[in-house]
Amino acid sequence: MPADHAADALALADDALLAPGIRHVVATLRAGMRAGPDITTMPLGEARACYAAQQQLWRPRVPPGVTIRRFSIATGAGPLPAVAVRAQGGQLSAARVLYLHGGGWVLGSVDTHLAAMARLALGSGTEVVGIDYRLAPEAPFPAALHDCLSAWHWLEADSAGRRLFIAGDSAGANLALAAMLELRGQHATMPAAALLFYGVFGPDCRGESSDRFGSGDYGLSTARMAWFRSNYLQAAGEAGTTDARISPLLADLTGLPPMLIMAAQCDPLADDSRALARRACVAGLVVTEAEQPGLVHGFLQMAAVVPEAATALNDAARYLSARCSAPLG
């Protein structure tokens, strides 16, 4: 079989893995990829606007019944924009979650991820706090990590004994795991648990999942991941790939809290989550591994139009709710 026909056959075989509810989303992603320039070739402002517009394709409307409060957190680098989301009425939430949005350290905001945060808050009965950490390339590594740590310390001081969690998707999951490693080194208060969605944890985007799903036909591509990394690392360069604050999969994970590690099957980063789950188990951590069959990178924002994504997000909310009452330690 000619090489191009073999590639077509492989694509068809991989398409058969897709969950029924997400096939129309993948078709939309492919049409957009073929119709216009990739965001990696756009001026930065246009790339961010394009990313935000793409999220709107999935109709990520904030569900009714939530209260949204916008505020800022004082940090050494200046005010850090933040948003707190919780169910309307009732008593103050017994637990709070620091949520770190994805977008390759370059794109995204609390607004692109607000609907997912609201669904998580409603489903778990917690208050979810998101931050607009500084983005690369204007603020390369370690600026975003420093912002996440500042937000965590603020949350701890502001929470009057309430149980605290950390969560993030994609680059946000990377920042959440890196922040926990830093907190461990500081002998600071750790989250009661972490929720890590389809994160980037390793030093490169190589392996079976990236070979199979990294063309861009399923959304995220290995080329885009390389662009994200180059913007984020900058001065750190190749040396940054061995820094556990950038590639937390390289770290000793001993002493970290329980984790929900939720991957998407049809995602070039799926191998990172699988490897993290293995390493966390070896380190003796309490791990809940929940790979989502047939879903693609970024599925949390698709919950309004993809039933399987909504189910995954509801499962994460139930995990969080259960951890709210689980014994600590």
Instruction: Just list the catalytic residues.
Output: 170, 267, 297
Per the CB < 8 A criterion, the answer to whether 228 and 105 are in contact is yes
Beta strands 127-131 and 78-87 are: antiparallel
d(CA 236, CA 224): 19
Q: Around Cβ 287, how many Cβ atoms within 10 Å?
A: 20
d(CA 147, CA 133): 6
201 vs 64, 267, 329, CA distance in Å?
34, 14, 25
d(CA 302, CA 102): 14
With the CA atoms of 130, 93, 120 and 149 taken in that order, what torsion angle do they form, in degrees rounded to the nearest 10?
A: 30
Q: Across the chain, how many H-helices and E-strands are there? A: 10, 10
- Tokens 């709070």: give the residue: 96
